[in-house]
Amino acid sequence: MRLQVFRRSSAAEQSAAAKRRPRVPNTVYAIGPVRGQAALLRKLVERILRDVPRRPSEQVGADEGAPSTRSRRAKAADLVFLGDLIGSGSDGLGVLDYLQELAAEPALKVTPVLGSQEYRLCRFLSGQCDGARWLGDGGVAFLVSNGVEPRLGASPFRLRPEVEAVLAHRRALLDAMPPSVTIGDVLFSHGGGAPQVPVKQQTVEDLVLGVGEGPPRRRSDGLWSVHAGPLVEPLEPDSGSFGLSTGAHYSQRLVALRIDADGGLGLLEACLD
């Protein structure tokens, strides 16, 4: 695991950079699509909890000397999940259960936003679509990993009671996910939204599924966009948007973008051996 930190610049450089770097009221961590990798997620969040009490943009070294539970809880930070939590992985329910655990963590304000998988799953469960798109977007892997035979070729509607039973109490968490959240001048969403449309006028589909091909473009309203597009390294601090997808279900790598109140940017990473 590592943290990528941009070097400290001069006062003049910082003044110029402040015009093009995201601004947030307190430290924010955004985690890319988890895709059912509960063990990988736990490893990354443990790393985040060790990082929370440090000063904005401070160099983070080895894991030794981690603060105590009592001291780390003295400072709060936002933790935003960019959707696609459950599909294409072996432990989607474990991911949802862990998010419910995190709701009790005093150091973090946790906000999961809708990904394409959650959006299509909720539409399927509410009868707004037949579920074919959800099954093709990680749904089959989710069902198989939880002992449900998808019975491909039959109507997906027949699966609805079984899916409801598998989700059980976790359904409330899915239903409560917003399509996006804005913190400071940063828009966090799965799809990035339409770059020429104000946030309040965005459709849920644009925020969750995105618009067009390629990564989201710089927004016309001045907001930064943090989304589930492909991760590009090294980070470009004046790009206008950041993608955080690492294909965690096959790469066994998950990253979090850290945005500090002073404009500092960094990446935290967790990998499974």
What's residue 138's pLDDT?
80
pLDDT, tens digit, for every residue of 211-236? 876 666 788 889 999 999 999 999 88
DSSP string, 241-273: EEEEE--HHHH-EEEEEEE-TTS-EEEEEEE--
29 within 8 A of 242, measured Cβ to Cβ: no
Q: Does the pLDDT of residue 271 top 80, yes or no?
A: yes
pLDDT of residue 135: 83
Residues written for the chain: 273
Q: What is the pLDDT of residue 17?
A: 41
Q: How many CB atoms lie within 10 A of CB 153?
A: 5
pLDDT in tens, 19-76: 578 999 999 999 999 999 999 999 999 999 999 855 444 333 334 444 444 444 445 7
Euclidean distance between CA atoms 179 and 193, whole angstroms: 10
The pLDDT value recorded for residue 53 is: 57
CA distances from 114 to 131, 136, 191, 228 (A): 16, 17, 9, 11
Take residue 109 and report the two structure tokens written for it: 């304000």
Supply 97's token pair. Answer: 């259960």
pTM of the model: 0.83
Q: What is the pLDDT of residues 132-152, one digit of tens each?
A: 888 887 888 888 888 887 776
Q: Which strands make up the sheet holding 186-189, listed edge to edge?
A: 180-183, 186-189, 224-230, 241-245
List the beta bridge partners of residue 242: 226
- What token pair was written down for 139? 């749904």
pLDDT score recorded for residue 154: 62
The helix (H) or strand (E) run that includes residue 28 is strand 28-31
Residue 65 has a pLDDT of 46
CB atoms under 10 Å from CB of 197, counted, come to: 16
Q: Are 88 and 36 in contact (CB under 8 A)?
A: yes
